[in-house]
Amino acid sequence: MGYTEAAARPGNFRERLVYLDHAATTSLRPEVLAVMTEELGHLGNPSSLHNAGRRARRVVEESREVIAEVYGARPSEVVFTSGGTEADNLAVKGLYWARQAQDPRRRRVLATAVEHHAVLDSVHWLADHEGAEPVWLPVDEQGRLWPDTLRAAIASDPAAVALISVMWANNEVGTIQPIAELAALAREHAIPFHTDAVQAAGQLPVDFAACGADALTVTAHKIGGPVGAGALLLGRGTQPVPVLHGGGQEADIRSGTLDAPAIRAFATAAQLVGKERDDQAARLAALRDELIARVRAAVPDVILNGAPPGPGRLPGNAHFSFPGCEGDALLMLLDAKGIACSTGSACTAGVAQPSHVLIAMGADEGRARGSLRFSFGSTSTLADVEAVGAEIGDVVERARRAGRAMAGGGRGAASRGTPEAGRVRQRARAGSAGHVRQRARSREAGGLDIRRGR
């Protein structure tokens, strides 16, 4: 049974999926699907010298030029990857190794405490295996890194800093960082500066040259393209040590056969972003603001996390904490109504832990656990907002009743004596158990943590 079919079962009124999780992955644009389908009909490895290979290479290079133009880079600065996670790993690990080779004193890695796990876990890995010294930069209650904070962290020992990584816009709460100011501070000390612009690339005017970063991550599936294609933009003279080794593709920075259909689709999505971004941002901001108003009207004590609506926040992001609720329970209750949202980053959904982003912003554990993210994209409409507004009040009340029952009688008593609590817990367990088992199996197989996108 498909998702929309499940949402239309007896007892659920919604026959159309209300998808408000575009920060996890966006809808594939029809134009993108068309060109990718066409390209899948062609045969040829872009590294081959025969006619079919040269044709595929031409597709890759023309796509590289399009992506470079949209994001303010030179074509030679675009290194294709399989997505944002690989690009972040290449930037963080590769630049660390390169800087270490130049000067063994360079062990400090500066990153905010609210980074995506692709950066956080790369830094942790370097600390565990390569002797790196992480410096977690604090943010304020809105999730913003102040330039003075970075300046002080660099000044304590600039010669020992290997690299700095600060995400352009937060994937959970939508707060936008002052990337140009931060990159300028790094440049004063000739320290490589990387920014994960995965969330920003589809909604903000991301310009690689203008922002001053040395490395920048983008991915296709957050801008209407396919999963499996991304890029790391690398400024001239920025040469990370490769993470992957093999055929020496992408100037020997990222080996692996290039996926011409996905890359062409990525370029088409980027081209659409370049044409529509300003109008789309205004439309998404209006939907977001209407959602905030309706949620506040239905749940007066709700807390909006992140920067206030305006230039400091992603247009398509609304992130709330609901006092007295568990985020997983809220998510599953909404899901039963055919409304898809998120408890935060999809990479950690299903894991019983509070949001590391909200904790870093100073929230207590209860607030961090009781949060939901609604994120908008090209297919979002006012009808989606109305659907959430019609359901959120009842859903929150049901989750609170279940929480009070569990708190009053203990887990076993609550689930036995209160049907509501039992049903909510059952839905939450069903949604997370498979993911938790997957992570356990991966750890047993070799310590890897397999996660589900962003």
- Residues assigned a catalytic role: 347
DSSP conformation class of 377: -
CA distance 341 to 170: 16
Cα atoms in the 13 Å half-sphere on the side-chain side of 160:
12
Burial of 114-152, coded b for 16+ CB within 10 Å and e otherwise, reads bbbbbbbbbbeebeeeeebbebbbebeebbbbbeebbee
CA distance 313 to 170: 9
The sheet that has 371-375: what strands, in order across it?
A: 303-304, 317-321, 371-375
CB under 8 Å to 357, separation ≥6 — which residues?
A: 114, 143, 170, 172, 173, 344, 345
CA distance 134 to 126: 9
One-letter amino acid at 237 equals G
Environment class of 76 (CB within 10 Å of its CB; exposed 0-12, middle 13-18, buried 19+): exposed
3-state secondary structure of 280: helix
Q: DSSP labels for 378-435?
A: TT--HHHHHHHHHHHHHHHHHHHHHHHHHHHHHHHHHHHH-HHHHHHHHHHHHHHHHH
Q: DSSP labels for 291-353?
A: HHHHHHHH-TT-EE-SSPSSTTB-TTEEEEE-TT--HHHHHHHHHHTTEE-BSS-TTTTTSSS
CA distance 189 to 239: 17
Q: At what angle do helices 179-188 and 147-155 cross, to 10 degrees?
A: 20
Q: Locate tokens 């062409």: which residue?
A: 264
CA distance 44 to 54: 8
CA distance 3 to 156: 53
- Going by DSSP bridges, is the β-strand pair 215-219/193-196 parallel, antiparallel, or unpaired? parallel
